[in-house]
Amino acid sequence: MTTIGQVAHLVRKDVTQFRWWLVGYTILTIAVTLAATQSLTLDSGPRAVAAPALWVVGVLIAALIVQSDTPGNSLAFWASRPIQPLALLSAKLCVVFGVLVVVPLVGLTIVLRGYSLSASELVSLLLPPFLFASGVLVAAMLVASLTSRTSSFLGVMFGVPLAIVSLASWRDGLPAWSRSMDAATTTALDLAALGGIAILLIVVYRSRATGRRWLAATTALLAASAWAILVTKTEPLAQTVGESTGQSVNAIVEEGSLAWLDPGAALTIGVTTSGTNQEHGYVFRPDSIRVDGLNGHTMTFPLYGLSAVPSSVRSTGAPQSTVSTSRSTHFFRFTLVQQDSLGGNIRHVRVLGSVEERAPALLASMRPTADTVLHDGRTRIHVSRVVEYPSRLRLEIDAPMSTRRLRSIPAAEGSTVYSTRLVWPASADTVPLRLDHRRIGNDFLVLPLAMKFGHQVTIDMPRADSLQAHRKPPLDLARVQIVRWNLIASNRVSAERALSILPSLP
Amino acid sequence: MIAVRELSYRFGKKVVLDDIAFEVPQGAFYAMLGANGAGKTTLFQLLASARPLQHGSAQLFGTPVRSLTMAQRQRVSYVAEGQELPRWMRLEQMEAFCAPLYPTWDAALARTLRTQFDLDSRQVIGTMSRGQRMKVALLCALASRPTLIIMDEPFTGMDVAVKDELVRGLLDAASAEGTTVLLCSHDIAEIEALADWVGILDHGRMRMSESLDALRARYKRVELVTEPGLRLPTQLPASWLSVERAGLRLSVLMEQGSDERESVVDLRGVTRREVREASLKELYLALSGPPRGLVEVAV
């Protein structure tokens, strides 16, 4: 039997042995993915449980698979068979990665394909979660290979990081991590960590390592890693990200909303924002509508944040110069005013937008009752209290934003999206912050490229009407939280409607 | 077939094997004897590649254990008491799993052994008794038609009838196919019928290793009936491995050829003298552990 054949043989054995676990995990993953792609209504409760549950179950399955043939156990059945330790390790890796990594990645790919991402964009998007998942699973396999019982594994794998988190939290509060690193650095570090753990795992299998010394060394390594992540401060007062504030968004052009466009008449196009993929932290943000006329002309109408909005676009309920949709706005209408260039019938409407990913950590978590300035390497955030209006805060954000260009839109379109909210210790009291100008929905602040080097906005603090008076906690206890959404891909088609050609009016 | 030199192994600070050296010729049925904790299991695990070597060398087929090729490892079977089996598998799944690992797997022999051991191929291994699990391990070990079988307490939990059948099967295999068997068991009487080579391991040290014939030729049991009042010398002769006295009966296990010292016994008034072959159990008890001196047995 060749080495490859032996690996395949062992894979078959493990798949047979753990078939119900693997089937259950796959079904759970598919269910979560389908819920993410198909559900139009947002209900973060079950999904918020499902994603961590998938992680815990995945790590547990990896441990069970490894512990069924522990490398250091001289009484293990495989140990005295003509089975190469590295073939055994390869088989375990194949099963663990084949089911616990590839299946969720395929699910993610399906979700993201719905946003029409290109292959290169998909790769760049899927690489970080792949590396992270691989690192966690390989670390779990390493711990499992050095422990013979599930309870010991759980104690080390979850107990040590929990202890470190508790210790770090007690000592300094929990800082955010990796915020000041660019993607390439983070990926390189992830790769290095993954490689290091993988080499250690290979050594354990080759040498049939066992005993307390190895386990103690691995435990120390885990603890040191957790400690390094948790106590490496890039900024003071930062915290890990809380619940998602995004509620987005597959834009759908309202059926039957389009009709003959008379010269000088108004045409209302409805854009429904629906659906989201909160557990994966991805959103689609519609930012323009492209309309093809029968006369061969194409016009693109921006939906937000442009300094030069075509005069043909007139929105309802928003300043003339700014038309926007928000993740929290479930329905939005805007009006097109016919121009000569468009004329006649409309045959095609496409909603274009960007795919964004919630940043892995809060950009800032700051007290609203005192001046606070934070830097995270590329953004400066300043929260100050406006004295004459005790209920008002001034939020300044300086961010060199990446330029975002949409085809067919000549204006500068770069922007970065932040979600802001005010959080009291009891999460039930969390409220989105309203912006007194450039208000985009309830909780999103859009910074157009014109404000590339800084933006200042005054935020109305919640008043009695936003929270019941008897429930309103002191402002001193609150924190302003700001989350940044990172652009993954732009100019994606989210929805497309081909319209039937109407007969021209005489 | 097996050559071990200067082999040492320790668990932490505890030395389990200390400078072990012995050889097992091809086709031999080698019985390794030793008390609990003598180091037999560790030694066997080292030879079966179930545990990495620390110090010294161990060779199978003339190749260091750690450098054995896959083809060579396929010629070795290992059975041990307490060896973990895939408890979730049915016996038929177990056979199907083992078969591709061994090019010499004999499915017909597996079926024969299954019948002989009265095992149900549909039964899940985890639901089997201890004795049945040992039978499964033996089935897998024998059906691969190995050149070398290493067995650590293989008869544990087996009923007498099956044990006899197994012993016969092992003898047949060893004699007909030239299979080498390395075995340890506390059932010395059972081993005596099988073994042609014997090694004694005592507290991690190899006390002796030689063929049973040579051992029996070297030692003999002398049974004496003496006159009342016989007094043995305070310092027993070095060639006397053990002496037992029960009333007027004196039993001495001594090295062959120590006639002079035997005559010492004669001079003190022996009324009857009988020489017989020493049993393996007697040899083991005499050769392992500290010198026993005179043992008085109540009549």
**Helix H or strand E encompassing B161:** helix B160-177
What secondary structure does DSSP assign to B220-265, as a single string?
Answer: EEEEEEE-TT----SS--TTEEEEEEETTEEEEEEETT-HHHHHHH
- Residue A199 burial by Cβ neighbours in a 10 Å radius (0-12, 13-18, 19+): exposed
Q: Give the model's pLDDT for residue A29.
A: 82
What secondary structure letter does DSSP report for A437? Answer: S
- What tokens were used for A83? 């089975």
Query: Which of A1, A6, A75 lies at the smallest CB-CB distance from B84?
Result: A75
On whether the pTM is more than 0.80, the answer is no
A427's CB contacts (< 8 A; 6+ apart) are A242, A243
Q: Give the model's pLDDT for residue B125.
A: 92
Distance from C-alpha of B35 to C-alpha of B281, rounded to nearest angstrom: 12
Provide the pLDDT confidence category of residue B9 given band limits of 50, 70 and 90: very high
Mean pLDDT of chain A: 63
What secondary structure does DSSP assign to A211-231, as a single string?
Answer: SHHHHHHHHHHHHHHHHHHHH
Of A121, A65, A125, the C-alpha closest to A90 is: A65
A389's CB contacts (< 8 A; 6+ apart) are none
Provide the pLDDT confidence category of residue A62 given band limits of 50, 70 and 90: very high
pLDDT tens sequence across A336-383: 544 444 445 566 667 666 666 666 556 677 777 777 777 655 566 777
Distance from C-alpha of B5 to C-alpha of B20, rounded to nearest angstrom: 6
Name the more confident of A246 and A209.
Answer: A209
Q: Which residues of A touch B84 (CB under 8 A)?
A: 73, 75-77
In B, what residues contact A, Cβ < 8 A? 45, 48-52, 70, 73-74, 76, 78, 80, 82-86, 88-89, 93, 97-98, 100-103
Of B296, B280, B276, the C-alpha closest to B288 is: B280
Residues 200-219 of A with CB under 8 A from B: 207-208
Residues 393-422 of A with CB under 8 A from B: none
Helix (H, G, I), strand (E, B) or coil at B154: coil
Q: Which residues of B touch A17 (CB under 8 A)?
A: 86, 88-89
Q: Give the model's pLDDT for residue A502.
A: 45
Query: Which of A13, A76, A82 lies at the smallest CB-CB distance from B73?
Result: A82
Of A461, A497, A500, the C-alpha closest to A480 is: A461
Residue whose entry in the numeric block shows the structure tokens 């050829």: B257
Residue whose entry in the numeric block shows the structure tokens 């026993």: B292
Q: Residue A455: what are its φ and ψ, rounded to 5°? A: -150, 140
Range name among A37-46, A199-208, B14-23 with the lowest pLDDT average: A37-46
Q: Which residues of A touch B100 (CB under 8 A)?
A: 1, 5, 9
Distance from C-alpha of A58 to C-alpha of A64, rounded to nearest angstrom: 10
Q: How distant is the alpha carbon of residue A386 from its chain centre?
A: 33
Helix (H, G, I), strand (E, B) or coil at B114: helix
Q: Which residues of B touch A84 (CB under 8 A)?
A: 70
CB contact under 8 A, B52 and A207: yes
pLDDT tens sequence across B199-247: 988 888 988 888 888 888 888 888 888 777 767 767 777 777 778 777 7
Q: Give the model's pLDDT for residue A203.
A: 84
- What tokens were used for B298? 């109540």
Asked if B28 and B214 count as a contact pair (C-beta separation under 8 A), the reply is no
Q: Is the ipTM of this complex over 0.90?
A: no
* Mean pLDDT of all residues in A111-128: 69
Which of B10, B17, B70 would best serve as a mutation to test chain A binding (most A beta carbons within 10 A)? B70
Of A28, A52, A490, the C-alpha closest to A283 is: A490
Q: Give the model's pLDDT for residue B222.
A: 83
Residues 36-95 of A with CB under 8 A from B: 68, 73-77, 79-84
Range name among A496-500, B99-103, B191-195, B228-232 with the lowest pLDDT average: A496-500
Q: Give the model's pLDDT for residue B244.
A: 79
Report how far apart, in Å, the C-alpha atoms of A348 and of each of A252, A269, A300, A303, B108 are: 13, 12, 12, 17, 73
Q: Indicate if the pLDDT at residue A451 is higher than 60.
A: no
B260-296 burial code (b ≥16 CB/10 A, e <16): ebbeebeebebeeeeeeebebebbbbbbbeeeeeeee
CB pairs under 8 A between A and B: 56
Q: Give the model's pLDDT for residue A345.
A: 58
CB contact under 8 A, A9 and B80: no
Distance from C-alpha of A129 to C-alpha of A124, rounded to nearest angstrom: 10
Q: Indicate if the pLDDT at residue A445 is higher than 60.
A: no
**Helix H or strand E encompassing B209:** strand B205-211
- What tokens were used for B51? 């545990």
Asked if A163 and A226 count as a contact pair (C-beta separation under 8 A), the reply is no
Q: Give the model's pLDDT for residue A207.
A: 77
Provide the pLDDT confidence category of residue B122 given band limits of 50, 70 and 90: very high
Strand ranges (DSSP E) for A153-297? 250-253, 266-274, 282-293
Helix (H, G, I), strand (E, B) or coil at B290: coil
Query: Which of A76, A77, A82 lies at the smallest CB-CB distance from B70?
Result: A82
Distance from C-alpha of B32 to C-alpha of B212, rounded to nearest angstrom: 12
Query: Which of A13, A73, A82 lies at the smallest CB-CB distance from B97?
Result: A13
Range name among B57-61, B72-76, B275-279, B295-299 with the lowest pLDDT average: B295-299
* Mean pLDDT of all residues in A496-505: 50
Inform me whether the C-beta atom of residue A311 falls under 8 Å from chain B C-beta atoms: no
Distance from C-alpha of B132 to C-alpha of A487, rounded to nearest angstrom: 63
Most confident of A303-307, A397-401, B233-237, B283-287: B283-287
pLDDT tens sequence across A465-478: 444 444 556 667 77
B179's CB contacts (< 8 A; 6+ apart) are B27, B146, B147, B148, B149, B173
Q: Indicate if the pLDDT at residue A126 is higher than 70.
A: yes
pLDDT tens sequence across A238-265: 222 222 222 223 333 443 444 444 444 4
Percentage with pLDDT > 90 across chain A: 8
Q: Which residues of A touch B82 (CB under 8 A)?
A: 75
Query: Which of A5, A74, A83 lies at the smallest CB-CB distance from B51?
Result: A74
Q: Give the model's pLDDT for residue A114.
A: 59
Helix (H, G, I), strand (E, B) or coil at A86: helix
Q: Indicate if the pLDDT at residue B69 is higher than 60.
A: yes
Which of A77, A78, A213 would best serve as a mutation to test chain B binding (most B beta carbons within 10 A)? A77
Q: Indicate if the pLDDT at residue A55 is higher than 60.
A: yes
Give A430-439 contacts, CB < 8 A, sequence gap 24+: A430/A243, A431/A462, A431/A466, A431/A467, A432/A245, A432/A328, A433/A393, A433/A459, A433/A460, A433/A461, A433/A462, A433/A480, A434/A459, A434/A460, A434/A462, A435/A459, A435/A460, A436/A392, A436/A460, A438/A322
pLDDT tens sequence across B90-107: 999 999 999 999 999 999
pLDDT tens sequence across A374-384: 765 556 677 77
A370's CB contacts (< 8 A; 6+ apart) are A385
Q: Which residues of A touch B52 (CB under 8 A)?
A: 207-208
Q: Give the model's pLDDT for residue A199.
A: 86
Longest dimension (CA), chain B: 71
CB contact under 8 A, B84 and A207: no
CB contact under 8 A, A16 and B93: yes
Q: Give the model's pLDDT for residue A433.
A: 56
CB contact under 8 A, B49 and A79: yes
Name the more confident of B47 and A172.
Answer: B47
Question: Chain B residue closest to A74 (CA)?
Answer: B50
